[in-house]
A and B are shown apart, each in its own frame.
Chain A
Amino acid sequence: QIQLVQSGPELKKPGESVKISCKASGYTFTDYAMHWVKQAPGKGLKWMGWINTYTGKPTYADDFKGRFVFSLEASASTANLQISNLKNEDTATYFCARKADYWGQGVMVTVSS
């Protein structure tokens, strides 16, 4: 069955970096784009952008240009999200989602000094 399994929760300090992974199984990884979505505590969902899993080309929503990087380890059917220079407002749960259908379980990233 189709599954997206994300890495575990992260606790980071402001200014640090974090890398979140999303391992796909049950389908051909390169057939579907991978999207990333942010859900801050008590807030709604925000689309961060997507990565073409065939070409590796990322597309970022305006609010996520600069400190956010989508990448792939295609041989491992894994998509990654790296956030650098973490800020308090990056505290959120980050989801990967295969196109618009299957979602990962989410990764809670807490940024606190």
Chain B
Amino acid sequence: DIQVTQSPSSLLASLGERVTITCQTSQSISNNLNWYQQKPGQAPMLLIYYATSLQTGMTSRFSGQYSGRSFTLTITSLEPEDIANYFCLQHYSAPWTFGGGTKLELK
């Protein structure tokens, strides 16, 4: 199985701050990684697909990059509505595997 290591597991940030979350995979998955935002009691929402593509309707504050086995989600300027949990998913090969999640909170 492909392991996905997500960091940090929790993050305190201020409004307006630039935030970066990383997922590292145990083997190459090309660009087959998605990023999601999940708020308590709600369905996860797709933010970024195929590592770099912004899902329709999502704010351009979110962006994704990757290099090799390292993938990053960046929020350029943190807004109150961005406070949530974030996780990544590799869908390169079965079983699909998830990062452990990042809880983003306001400082």
Q: Do A and B bind each other?
A: yes
Task: Please give the residue numbers on chain A whose beta carbons come within 8 Å of chain B beta carbons, in ascending order.
Answer: 4, 35, 44-47, 49, 59, 61-62, 95, 97, 100-106
* CB nearest neighbor in B for A104: B43
B36 to chain A, nearest CB (A): 8
Q: Is the CB of B91 within 8 A of A100?
A: yes
Main secondary structure of the interface of A (DSSP, over half): strand
CB B2 to nearest CB in A, in angstroms, measures: 11
B98 and A44 form a contact (CB under 8 A):
yes
A/B pair count, beta carbons within 8 Å: 44
B94 at the interface (CB under 8 A from A): yes
Task: Indicate whether B55 reaches chain A with its CB closer than 8 angstroms.
Answer: yes
**Complex formed: what's the CA distance from A104 to B43 in Å?**
6
A105 and B55 contact, CB distance less than 8 A = no
Chain A residue nearest to B34 in the complex (CB)? A100
C-alpha spacing A95/B43, complex, angstroms: 8
User: Could you tell me the distance in whole angstroms from the C-beta of B21 to the nearest C-beta in chain A?
Assistant: 15
CB neighbours of A101 from chain B (8 A)? 46, 49, 55
Q: Mark B10-25, 1 if CB is under 8 A from A, else 0.
A: 0000000000000000
**CB <8 Å contact, A61 and B101:** no
Whether A95 pairs with B98 at a CB distance below 8 angstroms is no
Q: Cβ of B51 < 8 Å from any Cβ of A?
A: no
